[in-house]
Amino acid sequence: MRTVLLLVFTGVCLPQDFTKLAIEKVAGGFTFTEGPVWSRDNYLLFSDPPENKIYRLTSEGKSVYREASNGANGNTFDTQGRLYSCESKSRRVTRTGKKGNIEVLADKYEGKRLNAPNDIVVRKDGNIYFTDPAFGAQADKRELDFYGIYHIPAKGQLELIAKTTGRPNGIALSPNGRILYVADSDDRLIRAFDVASNGKASNERVLIKGIDGPPDGIRTDEKGNIWVTCNNVAVYSADGVFINKIDFPEIPRNLTFGDNDFTTIYVTAMKSVYRVRLDVKGSVQY
């Protein structure tokens, strides 16, 4: 069933020329969907952390991609097609090679176990960035007394970018890879950091405040606009100005750009996955 949605203009230039979008439910019956990422092999991966699975969605339907995923939440690929996952139950970040071998990239900081890695992005040059909050029962098992945003250099050891009082969640890079965006679910804001050629992040600042609901997953499009899942999918300019929003039948939790031309957003929303065709292309680091 396709639902036609009329977007409300705000007086700010839209990222593309549209007034109507069709929202299509492409999969359902899950417990809690998260971590969508599009593969260049033409399929969507997404997580169901409570069910401890990663699913694969193609034009032929859904299937289980990985059993016993260790509570995988956020996922992404790199330019070599390797899969990166934030495993909330095992409290680690892993990389799965093209042949299925799994490598642990991070599980401790200064000798203490990570809280519960949540979302991740890999820059084209191999620099890795991820968030480490703790939600629900995860908070009772913490060894670290802070929530963190981390960087794994292309060649080097895990390093802390920032400690936050609010829980960091979704994470994304600008199209040129020079700005890192991080959602803060507690304070309902988006932080930005400048990223140097060596991958180091600096100049922390608050870019967006007053988001409608706790922000979760975030992505950028080719024009630099920032797409935020909250009580809806909200679109902001690279300067942090609100542009517009898309409402869904369920609360969105994360999103990714997909299809062969990366002009479709796939939105994981509670128990379902939705698809919306756009006229703007996503910014993809892989």
Confidence at residue 5, expressed as pLDDT on a 0 to 100 scale: 41
Q: Find out if CATH 3.40.50.2300 is the number for domain 2-277.
A: no
Confidence at residue 3, expressed as pLDDT on a 0 to 100 scale: 41
Confidence at residue 140, expressed as pLDDT on a 0 to 100 scale: 80
Give the mean pLDDT of 248-268: 98
- Is residue 9 very low, low, confident or very high in pLDDT (cuts 50, 70, 90)? very low
Confidence at residue 19, expressed as pLDDT on a 0 to 100 scale: 55
Residue 15 has pLDDT above 60, yes or no: no
Confidence at residue 2, expressed as pLDDT on a 0 to 100 scale: 41
Confidence at residue 139, expressed as pLDDT on a 0 to 100 scale: 78
191-239 pLDDT, tens digit each: 999 999 999 999 999 999 999 999 999 999 999 999 999 999 999 999 9
- Is residue 20 very low, low, confident or very high in pLDDT (cuts 50, 70, 90)? confident
Confidence at residue 237, expressed as pLDDT on a 0 to 100 scale: 97
85-126 pLDDT, tens digit each: 999 999 999 999 999 999 999 999 999 999 999 999 999 999
Cβ contacts of 120 within 8 Å, gap of 6 or more: 74, 75, 76, 84, 85, 86, 93, 128, 129, 130, 131, 171
Distance CA 3, CA 67 (A): 33
Residue type, 209: K
Confidence at residue 6, expressed as pLDDT on a 0 to 100 scale: 37
142-186 pLDDT, tens digit each: 999 999 999 999 988 999 999 999 999 999 999 999 999 999 999
Give the mean pLDDT of 119-139: 94
27-37 pLDDT, tens digit each: 999 999 999 99
**Residue pair 250/269 in contact by the 8 Å Cβ criterion:** yes
